[in-house]
Each structure stands twice: as structure tokens, then as C-alpha cells.
């Protein structure tokens, strides 16, 4: 069995200016001195903060991620950002298909697939997000939905350069974390769909300092995608430094 990489990523969503981002690093970076090198630490910031973060993090172990990427390399796509615009800044990861993009911006399994391929072509590692709504869970549709999302998203996608995040929508920003054992079960189901069983699969949805140890103790869970708790340097440092 190949060893799976641990990836802990913060998703800042639409939070933090450049100045806020640099202020965050002042509090966060000193707390990484004891963090094992085996843990990949990523900050997925708004496009406008990436350049400032990149300059400050140059030579640091913390990698930078974007929260979206367009499928074309250039063109008439107002408001979108292409892969080479990100790699030029030193960006290494891109979140693709977050449920907020699917819900509010019309992202579909097809556009998610295009964006994944574009990220990989640009040399980025995409973090593919999948997850069911409360309604879908209550209707017993979780397994079918997740299977569809994973399979549609991964058509012609290179599974050697990929991270997946299982983020049940009902657990995002609600404080209502998915039971660790249940997250573990669904993540096992996702892994069973993959050609490459070594793809790191994260859990996301109300990950906090108080529950990260239990989540990371689950055998199928290889990391976390953290929203709210990644905004505060001390909280995110505690998450990155989870006790195993």
C-alpha cells in the first residue's frame, strides 16, 4: 500500500484582503516550527491575495492555492482566471467544484471536469470537492450522488496529481460536523471509485481545533479542507498540528 500524503488546506472563501492575509501569516507561521514535514499545508486564498502571500511565503513550507480556475487558457471569459495566471504567482493548488460554486454559480459535473483538466495541464494540483445536501442525505441518495460526482468529474483526469475533498453540504459552516466514522465510510466509498487508491482524500465541514484529532484518526481520512477555522491563525495552527 503506498503511503498517502496528508494535506491540510484552509479555504478562506471570500475573506481577507492582502493586508489581512499578511497579518494572518504573522500569527500562523511561527506555530509551524514543530509541524511534521509529512504534512502538506495549503492556504487557498482569494485571487487578490495570492501575489502578496506568494512573496511572503517564498521558501516556506506553506503552499498556496486558488479557489477556482477557468478551463480555457485565455479568452473572452470576463471575471475568470486561467491556470498560467496562477502558476506565474507560485500557486500550486486550485479548489475545483466547491459546493458553493455548484450552488451559487452554476458549476456542473461537466464544468468541474473541464476545470480539473485545465488545472493539471497548467501544472497545478486540483482539490476536487464533492458532497451531498441534507435533502439528498435524508433521501438516501448520498452514495449514488457521490459516485456520480466522482465519476463525472474524473473523466480523463490524471489521478496521480489530485486531491479530493468530501464536504457534505449540511456540515459546511453549520458547526454540524459529519460523524468522523460516517465521513470515514463515505471517503472509503470514494476511494473505491478510484484507479489510484493513493489519492489523498480530505474531509471538510466544520473542522475545528476540538474535533480535528478525532477526524484525522480515521483510517481513510488523509486531511482536512477547513473554512471558518482557517481564518484564525491559532485555530488553523492547532488543526495543522493535529495530534495523531
Positions that interact with ligand 13P (CB under 6 A): 11, 98, 167, 172-173, 204-207, 225-229
Q: Is 167 a residue of the active site?
A: yes
Give 21 or 206: the residue with its C-beta nearer to ligand 13P: 206
Give 112 or 172: the residue with its C-beta nearer to ligand 13P: 172
Among 40, 100, 107, 167, the one annotated catalytic: 167
Give 122 or 235: the residue with its C-beta nearer to ligand 13P: 235
Give 200 or 228: the residue with its C-beta nearer to ligand 13P: 228
Give 186 or 225: the residue with its C-beta nearer to ligand 13P: 225
Cα–Cα distance between 138 and 2 in angstroms, integer? 35
| Closest residue to ligand 13P, based on beta-carbon distance | 227
Closest separation in Å from C-beta 7 to ligand 13P: 13
Closest separation in Å from C-beta 176 to ligand 13P: 9
Give 77 or 105: the residue with its C-beta nearer to ligand 13P: 105
- Specify whether the backbone of 216 is left (phi greater than 0), alpha (psi in -120 to 50) or beta: alpha
Closest separation in Å from C-beta 206 to ligand 13P: 4
Q: Which residues of 174-188 are buried (b: 16+ CB within 10 A; e: fewer)?
A: eeebbebebbbebbe
Cα–Cα distance between 146 and 120 in angstroms, integer? 22
Closest separation in Å from C-beta 231 to ligand 13P: 9
Among 40, 70, 98, 100, the one annotated catalytic: 98
Enter the C-alpha cell of residue 185.
465510510
Q: Is 58 a residue of the active site?
A: no
Closest separation in Å from C-beta 11 to ligand 13P: 4
Closest separation in Å from C-beta 214 to ligand 13P: 15
Active site residues: 98, 167
Amino acid at each position: 500500500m503506498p503511503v498517502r500524503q496528508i494535506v491540510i488546506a484552509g479555504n478562506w472563501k471570500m475573506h481577507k484582503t492582502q493586508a489581512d492575509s499578511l497579518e494572518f501569516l504573522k500569527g500562523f507561521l511561527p506555530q509551524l516550527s514543530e509541524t511534521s514535514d509529512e504534512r502538506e499545508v495549503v492556504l487557498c486564498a482569494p485571487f487578490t491575495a495570492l501575489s502578496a502571500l506568494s512573496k511572503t511565503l517564498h521558501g516556506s513550507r506553506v503552499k498556496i492555492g486558488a479557489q477556482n480556475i477557468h478551463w480555457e487558457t485565455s479568452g473572452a471569459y470576463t471575471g475568470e482566471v486561467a491556470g498560467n495566471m496562477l502558476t506565474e504567482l507560485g500557486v500550486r493548488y486550485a479548489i475545483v467544484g466547491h459546493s458553493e460554486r455548484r450552488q451559487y454559480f452554476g458549476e456542473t459535473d461537466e464544468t468541474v471536469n473541464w476545470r480539473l483538466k485545465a488545472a493539471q495541464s497548467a501544472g497545478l494540483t486540483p482539490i476536487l470537492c464533492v458532497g451531498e445536501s441534507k435533502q439528498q442525505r435524508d433521501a438516501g441518495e448520498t452514495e449514488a450522488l457521490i459516485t456520480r460526482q466522482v465519476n463525472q468529474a474524473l473523466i480523463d483526469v490524471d489521478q496521480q496529481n489530485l486531491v479530493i475533498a468530501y464536504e457534505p453540504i449540511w456540515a459546511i459552516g453549520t458547526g454540524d460536523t459529519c460523524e468522523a466514522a460516517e465521513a470515514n465510510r463515505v471517503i472509503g466509498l470514494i476511494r473505491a471509485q478510484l484507479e489510484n487508491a493513493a489519492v489523498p482524500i480530505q474531509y471538510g465541514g466544520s473542522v475545528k481545533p476540538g474535533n480535528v484529532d478525532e477526524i484525522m484518526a480515521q483510517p481513510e481520512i488523509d486531511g482536512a479542507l477547513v473554512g471558518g477555522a482557517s481564518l484564525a491563525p491559532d485555530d488553523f495552527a492547532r488543526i495543522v498540528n493535529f495530534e495523531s
